[in-house]
Amino acid sequence: MGENMKLPLKPFRSRGGVKAPHRKHTWNNESVVMPPPSEVIICMSQHIGAPCTPVVKAGDEVKVGQTVGDSDAFMSVPMHSSVSGKVKRIETITMPNGSKVPAVRIESDGLMTPYEGIAPPEINSREDFIKAVRNSGVVGLGGAGFPVHVKLSVESDKVDTLIINAAECEPYITADNREALENSWGVISGIKSVMELMEIDRAIIGVEDNKPHAIKALREVCEAANRDMHGEVCVLPLKARYPQGAEKVLIKVCTNRVVPEDKLPADVGCVVMNIGSIAFVSSYLKTGMPLVTKRITVDGEAVKNPQNVIAPIGTKIKDIIEFCGGYKCEPEKLIFGGPMMGLALPDDEMPLLKQNNAILAFSKEEAARLEPSDCIRCGRCAAACPMGLTPPLISGYIAQRDVKGMTDSGIMVCMECGCCSFACPANRPIVQNMRVGKGMVRTAARKK
Amino acid sequence: MGNMLTVSSSPHLSSGATTKRIMLDVIISLVPASIAAVVFFGWKSLVLIAVCIVSCVALEYICRRVMKRKNTTGDLSAVVTGLLLALNLPSGINPLIAVFGCIVAIVVVKQMFGGIGNNFVNPAITARIVLLVSFPVHMTTWEKPFEWLRTADSVTGATPLAMMAQGDKTSYLDLFLGNTGGCIGETCVLALLLGGIYLVIRRVISPIIPLCFIGTVFVLSFLLGGDPLFHIMSGGVMLGAIFMATDYTTSPMNPLGKVIFGIGCGVITVLIRLYANLPEGVSFSIILMNILVPHIENLTRTKPFGKEKKNEKA
């Protein structure tokens, strides 16, 4: 790389962003482990990439950690049962984005018997490690769901920096904060393993500065770790400005490197992993238990007891809300993830997915949005865009269905963080419109 | 859970900013200048302001109604236009002429081009220019400040810029406080600065355009042998730079564009003042730069994050 490989003392500059309200009500609530629900639905697509095919059939007995779905594709991870019990049926469920995928419905026997085949993986090489990471079923737990083993499958001399994403810039969500507070040693041991096995010399943990306790806890373990490890690790407090945790923004503020359009972090020498993912990798290396539970923040005015819950993957939202005391008032909107980028759900029957980090139940007041009015060209959207786009310009091309104009003005750089819509005083659906435009560009590319 | 959930595309939060609140902030920021107008030029100013605001709102309502579009008077933008136009008129003007100005601003410039956000020139400035060329005598008959207290008849005087042309200089203090002849809202520099500071603090406007505009007038008038302090405090520079040149719709969005726009306004203002037959050039400089905005925006477009150069050309 030929550049300064020292650890950064303060974050590098990033552009745009918005002052979203923090609303981290649950930051100080210890995570609660949820008892097994009566049934779970293990969805066969909980990641970016090829969906799995169920490898069990109705009537089969399964145990915790047993594989219930797998795929031959590289860009895919296996799915495991999160409870012990009996497979009720294989069905098709509709995902929040409208796609239909197979799912395995398992009736729990309430015993949570672990699968016999579970044993810590034997790791002698990098290949073993990457294979183990795939078998663990881990995906990017911050929300994107990018299979972790794919991130790690890069040439060893290409990557020099491991970035741990603990920015948690979305309002409400505190799951990463709890991970840092409750499992800081797990986080650091995961970082150590990845650094050693991937021969990476430095690691940077990016945390927004609205989480001083997490920063303190992580700094303590980093200090201890730096005494006896290969390479160096540090905690970098980031400005609490949404979207610091967006991958490209995080790489920029941690290393001052710009990921080119259509390129991946590895192309600028970085591997970015969510703090939850890295902590899970460490626990998997020790126990061999695949990813079957997930820590999520349950919040919103319509929830009785907002808290962080460690729930079996596949638990229905309904059951998780029930565990949190049920609804305090009629919910108006249910969101999978944070309020800035999360998906609104049509009902509470959806099962919990690996990459979910929050369930928000908004009351009528919380969900209220104003009617859109005409653009006054105030430029707040352009000023807020972390990617340096000019939304009013692109909106013009979208209205004209001008694919070349959209591409030239950078529409595909848009990561849909929603800062533009958030900032808009006319309440225009700017990012929503961008999604439509990106769809047009993709369709046009396919036709070529 | 008996009700239907709202399903919409993210984000599910908004900053709470609204067009109405922005316009309200502009109105608040113009309160000091409006008070100064009444103090210096009497109740006639208040009547003028009221006439302009009422006509602008009424005209906007009628236009939207006739065009079968949603009523937008609630966003308060018509109030801002009316108030700005009134502040750009001399105190003795016939209110009917002011109403004609409102028709130009709202009907012709704003609504015929699609309403808020779609006009390519500033409505109030354009109306002022139309009135200036249609009623040159009415638009340049200035009353002296405080004359309304002394006599029932209006006593006319000259603006500092006109007096300057005859070698007669107004004191800096009078200029700063607004104790001079001129349009009712442009004379009191103090009131206009207060309004400008409020707008910047409330983040309604970025200070780039006013600073570049006023800075350019200062530097260029000095270089060309004028009195820089006099030039920035006289005529419509403050009112124009702070309230008219910063109009969202007719100024560039990104910072570099704002710099070019502000400097352009300043250069044209000074050139008109020093070398043209007109004593004042603020209105013309702003409208000329308004027309150039699309080109400035094309030239100053920001580079998308991580976008390769070759793609830009393709």
Q: Where are the domains of chain B?
A: 19-299
Looking at CA atoms only, how far is residue A95 from chain B in angstroms?
Answer: 13
Please report where in the chains the tokens 């009902």 appear, as a residue.
Answer: A347
State the residue range of the domain holding A396.
Answer: 380-447
Q: Does A242 touch chain B (CB under 8 A)?
A: no
| Residue A393 sits in the same domain as residue A259 | no
| Residue A249 sits in the same domain as residue A395 | no
CB-closest option in A19, A377, A431 to B117: A377
CA distance B175 to B186: 10
Give the per-residue pLDDT at B311.
45
Is the Cβ pair B15, A370 closer than 8 Å?
Answer: no
Looking at CA atoms only, how far is residue A378 from chain B in angstroms?
Answer: 5
CA distance A51 to A145: 12
| Residue A414 sits in the same domain as residue A282 | no
Does residue A5 lie within any of the structural domains?
no
| Residue A280 sits in the same domain as residue A135 | yes
Single residue among A237, A252, A287 that ends a domain in this structure:
A287
Tokens of B68: 């079968």
Does residue A298 lie within any of the structural domains?
no
Is the Cβ pair A342, B304 closer than 8 Å?
Answer: no
| Residue of chain A whose alpha carbon sits nearest to that of B12 | A339
Residue B2 has pLDDT above 80, yes or no: no
On whether the CB atoms of residues B117 and B251 are closer than 8 A, the answer is no
Backbone angles phi, psi at A293, to 5 degrees: -130, 165
Q: Which residues of B touch A331 (CB under 8 A)?
A: 1, 5
How many Cα neighbours within 13 Å face the side chain of A204?
A: 28
Q: Does A144 touch chain B (CB under 8 A)?
A: no
Give the per-residue pLDDT at B309.
60
Pick the residue with more confidence: A219 or B162? A219
Q: Please state, as a whole number, how many other Cβ atoms lie within 10 Å of the Cβ of residue A209.
A: 15
CA distance A438 to B9: 15
CB-closest option in B6, B15, B297 to A332: B6
Q: What percent of chain B has pLDDT over 90?
A: 78
Does residue A413 lie within any of the structural domains?
yes
Residue B47 has pLDDT above 50, yes or no: yes
| Residue A265 sits in the same domain as residue A141 | yes
Is the Cβ pair B6, A333 closer than 8 Å?
Answer: yes
Single residue among A233, A252, A287 that ends a domain in this structure:
A287
CA distance A286 to A118: 11
Q: What is the DSSP string of B266-283?
A: HHHHHHHHHHSSSS--HH
| Residue of chain A whose alpha carbon sits nearest to that of B298 | A393
pLDDT per residue as tens digits for the range B225-246: 889 999 999 999 999 999 999 9
Secondary structure of residue B156 in the 3-state scheme:
strand
CB-closest option in A335, A341, A423 to B17: A423
Give the per-residue pLDDT at A7.
86
Residues 6+ apart with CB under 8 A from A104: A41, A42, A44, A54, A56, A68, A69, A79, A81, A87, A90
Q: Does A424 touch chain B (CB under 8 A)?
A: yes
Q: Does A143 touch chain B (CB under 8 A)?
A: no
Give the per-residue pLDDT at B93.
93
| Residue A256 sits in the same domain as residue A405 | no
On whether the CB atoms of residues B120 and B290 are closer than 8 A, the answer is yes
| Residues A386, A388, A393, A398, CA torsion sign | negative
Give the per-residue pLDDT at B165.
78
| Residue A145 sits in the same domain as residue A272 | yes
Q: How buried is residue B185: exposed, middle or buried, by Cβ count under 10 Å (0-12/13-18/19+)?
A: buried
CA A81, distance to chain mean position in Å, is: 21
Is the Cβ pair B304, A410 closer than 8 Å?
Answer: yes
Residue B183 has pLDDT above 90, yes or no: yes
How confident is the model over B129-139, as a mean pLDDT? Answer: 93
Residue B130 has pLDDT above 70, yes or no: yes
Residue of B15, B204, B205, B256 to mutate, interface with A, max A Cβ within 10 Å: B15
Which class in CATH covers the domain with range B19-299? mainly alpha
Does residue A301 lie within any of the structural domains?
no
Looking at CA atoms only, how far is residue B298 from chain A in angstroms?
Answer: 10
CA B305, distance to chain mean position in Å, is: 34
Helices (H), chain B: 19-29, 31-41, 43-66, 77-87, 95-102, 123-134, 136-139, 147-150, 160-165, 172-177, 189-201, 208-223, 228-233, 237-239, 255-275, 282-299, 309-313
The answer to which of A242-251, A401-410, B159-168, B259-268 has the lowest mean pLDDT is B159-168
Q: Does A392 touch chain B (CB under 8 A)?
A: yes
Run of H or E residues at A334: strand A333-336
Question: Which value does ipTM take for this structure?
Answer: 0.90
On whether the CB atoms of residues B285 and B272 are closer than 8 A, the answer is yes
CA distance A420 to B31: 31
Residue B312 has pLDDT above 50, yes or no: no
Secondary structure of residue A264 in the 3-state scheme:
coil
Give the per-residue pLDDT at B1.
57
**Contact residues of B toward A, CB < 8 A:** 1-3, 5-15, 17-19, 21-22, 72, 75, 77, 114-118, 248-249, 253-254, 297, 301-308, 311-312, 314
Segments in chain A below pLDDT 70? 1-4
Secondary structure of residue A107 in the 3-state scheme:
strand
For residue B301, the one-letter residue type is R
Please report where in the chains the tokens 């998308």 appear, as a residue.
Answer: B304
How confident is the model over B263-292, as a mean pLDDT? Answer: 93
| Residue of chain B whose alpha carbon sits nearest to that of A410 | B304
How confident is the model over B93-97, as a mean pLDDT? Answer: 94
Residue B310 has pLDDT above 60, yes or no: no
Instruction: Give pTM, 2 decimals.
Output: 0.92
CB-closest option in A19, A382, A426 to B254: A382
Number of domains in chain A: 2
CA distance B265 to A405: 31
pLDDT band at B37 (very low <50, low <70, confident <90, very high): very high
CA distance B46 to A311: 67
Does residue A293 lie within any of the structural domains?
no
pLDDT band at B313 (very low <50, low <70, confident <90, very high): very low
